[in-house]
Every structure is written in C-alpha cells, then in structure tokens.
Amino acid sequence: MIVHNVRNPFVIEAEKVAAMNDEQDEQEDQDEIAAQEWYDQKSALMVGILGEEHNMVMHAIIPYAIGGGLDLYYFPNGIEGTAVATKELSEIPGEGSSNDVFDFYELVMFTRLPISLDDAQNESTAFGQVHGSINAILNSIASYSAQATLNPHETCEFPEDFERIGGKCLIFDAYGSDEDHSEFGLLLVMEIHRSEMDFARKNGGEKLIAKLKKAGVYPYSDMDRSAVV
C-alpha cells in the first residue's frame, strides 16, 4: 500500500510567505547595518576635515528622503565661524550625489558667525538670517544634485522667482581635498557676488577661487563684504 501525506495548501503557502518575510527582514537588517557603517565612516571623514561636530542637529519636520527638508549638521570647532553640512545626499554605500572628483559627496557651507542655534529660527538676528539663507540654498542644491553633476569650480545662479534665494550666485569647490579623485568628499557651496560669478564664467572658476582665498573671504558665504573683482 502506498500512503500519501497530503498537506493543507494554505499551510504550505503560509510557510512560504513566512520564509520570504524572514529573508526580507534579514536583508533589511543588513541594509541598516551597512547604512550605519557608512554614516559612521562618512561622519569620521567630515570631522577630519571640519573639526569636531556640535552635539545638536537641526532635524527637519518631514524627512528629506520622503520629500521634506534636510537635517543640518554643525561644525563650529574647525576654522573661524560655523560650518553647516548635510549627511543625506549619500545615505547608502554606493548610492548618492556624485561628480568628477568625488564618487559620493555631502554639501557644506560656512559663515564667519559663531554658532547660535537658539537664534537659528529667529531671522531678526544675524545668525538667524545667515542660517535661513544657508538652509534654503543647501536644500535647493541637494535636490538639484540628485539629477545634475555639480563639479568644483562651476558656478550656479538661482532664477529670480525662487523664494528667498532668487538671484543668488554660487560657486562650488572640493573642500579640504587636494586629490584628483576620492571615494567621498565635501562639496563646498559658496555664495558669491554676481560680478565674481561673471568673472568665473569668463576666466574659470579656479581663478576666482584663488582670488577669494587671497582676499581671505574663502570659504564663507557671508555677503557683507566687497567683491574681489
């Protein structure tokens, strides 16, 4: 006699689904570990360039990954003033904004003002005004970097109809890096005068960067200064 053990097909299907869910959970755990390791590695590199990081982070109400704003990270322990940087352009190893110099990068902007996070949302203060401008610029450039290649020494200007930052002019640079190519780096976003942007477009961004450094205004985006050209 041949005896067949017939199993309930619904039980079999449930076991398959459970196995698939286990595999998915395992993959998600591995992805989370990889993302955390990349975050830690990236943060260490940023500290090496910018100095020790401030213990406060300005979190966006709606996460950047789902269409909200950037979280902002502060580095007040390097050069004079405050560096404001991103950490969400490349959250997963092997993915993110890239250019001809960096496989992946984050953005950084500088102000000469000392950090004052209590004033960051108060635009009646000097730090609040600068912080609001930096926040708007970084969020716009971050979104643009996902679809365009932004290279050091290139310039950028915002259309006049952009809220708050319309008409502003920028130049990019590979901050803190002398290498021709790196796996990761910081792309400086520096606000400049229009005459400076025109000079860069005519003579090359590298020549403008040299003039900005010679004048002692690099890498700051404070615009209460005279143009270098």
* pLDDT-based confidence at residue 4 (cuts at 50, 70, 90): low
Q: Tell me whether residue 19 is exposed, middle or buried, using C-beta atoms within 10 angstroms of its C-beta: 0 to 12, 13 to 18, 19 or more.
A: exposed
pLDDT at 134: 98
Taking only the tens place, the pLDDT of each residue in 45-85 is 999 999 999 999 999 999 998 999 999 999 999 999 999 99
**99 and 47 Cβ atoms separated by less than 8 Å:** no
Beta-sheet strand order (sheet of 72-75): 57-58, 72-75, 82-85, 102-111, 182-192, 169-175, 155-157
pLDDT at 25: 63
Sequence-ordered alpha helix ranges (H) in 86-220:
126-145, 194-203, 205-214
pLDDT at 139: 97
* pLDDT-based confidence at residue 131 (cuts at 50, 70, 90): very high
Which one is predicted more confidently, 228 or 17?
228
Coarse DSSP helix, strand, coil percentages of the chain, rounded to the nearest 5 percent = 40, 20, 45
* pLDDT-based confidence at residue 93 (cuts at 50, 70, 90): confident
* pLDDT-based confidence at residue 5 (cuts at 50, 70, 90): low
Taking only the tens place, the pLDDT of each residue in 100-109 is 999 999 999 9
**171 and 153 Cβ atoms separated by less than 8 Å:** yes
If DSSP codes are grouped into helix, strand and coil, which group holds residue 5? coil
pLDDT of residue 23 exceeding 90, the answer is no
* pLDDT-based confidence at residue 21 (cuts at 50, 70, 90): low
Measured between alpha carbons, how far is 56 from 109 in angstroms, rounded to an integer?
17
> Which tokens in the block code for residue 32?
């989370």
C-alpha distance across the termini of the chain, in Å: 99
Element spanning 157, H or E: strand 155-157
Q: Across residues 126-131, what is the average pLDDT?
A: 97
Q: Across residues 146-169, what is the average pLDDT?
A: 96
pLDDT at 218: 98
| Alpha-carbon distances of 21 from 10, 28, 35, 96, rounded to whole Å | 16, 10, 21, 28
CA 207 to chain CA centroid, nearest Å: 25
**129 and 154 Cβ atoms separated by less than 8 Å:** no
Whether residue 219 is preceded by a cis peptide bond, meaning omega within 30 degrees of 0, is yes
If DSSP codes are grouped into helix, strand and coil, which group holds residue 166? coil
Element spanning 187, H or E: strand 182-192
Q: Is the full-model pTM beyond 0.85?
A: yes
Q: Which DSSP letter does residue 41 get?
A: H
* pLDDT-based confidence at residue 6 (cuts at 50, 70, 90): low
Sketch the domain layout of the chain as residue ranges.
30-214
